[in-house]
Amino acid sequence: MQVTRAGEYGVLGLLHLARRGAGQVVMIDEVSREERIPKSFLAKIFQSLARAGLVRSNRGIGGGFALAKEPAEITTLDVIEAIEGPIAFQRCLEAPTECPHTGGCPLCGLFEQAQTQVRDVFSRTTLADLMKSRVPAAAPATSLKPRAPTPARAAV
């Protein structure tokens, strides 16, 4: 039950591109250095992102990566699923499965519900939202404002 490092690094990386401004071409090397992400690993991650069309790559001298869309058009769900594949809480929710309980299993519905919730959260938060929510450097970073604000009770 975790977002993998790859997924997290992907969002962090794209966020870096977004902060550098629209259409700016930035090298893997800079993103890696500034965001403290292993370069080779980040390179692989950006490959997925490029294949998913979230980012455009240019080779050669002055090459690098640039966002393919507006930051407000890229949701964290796009990013995470481009890297990790579709979010699925259980095998029955991602492919027609041969699970022995499939007929009338009460759990499917529950897992589907949970899954929908997290996809919702991720799909309504864009890179632009994350940029805005960037807190200075201290204070609990707990106050994130997605486009459609949810109650989100404080204590878990």
Residues that bind a second copy (CB under 8 A): 1-3, 8, 11-12, 15, 35-36, 76, 84, 87-91, 100-101, 103-122, 125, 130-131, 133-139, 141-144, 146, 150, 152-153, 156
The residues in 55-94 that bind ligand SF4, with binding defined as CB under 6 A, are: 90-92
- Nearer Cβ to DNA, position 1 or 148? 1
Tokens 């404080």 correspond to 154
Q: Residue 92, by phi and psi: left (phi above 0), alpha (psi -120 to 50) or beta?
A: alpha
Give the H/E segment covering residue 50.
Answer: helix 39-51
- Give the separation between CA 113 and CA 43, rounded to whole angstroms: 34
Binding mask 60-99 for DNA (x = CB under 7 A): xxxxxx------------------x---------------
Bridge partners, residue 58, by sequence: 64
Report in angstroms how near the CB of residue 91 gets to a second copy at its nearest: 8
The residues in 34-53 that bind DNA, with binding defined as CB under 7 A, are: 38-41, 43-44, 46-47, 50-51
Question: Could you give the C-alpha distances from 20 to 25, 89, 140, in angstroms and in order?
Answer: 9, 35, 25
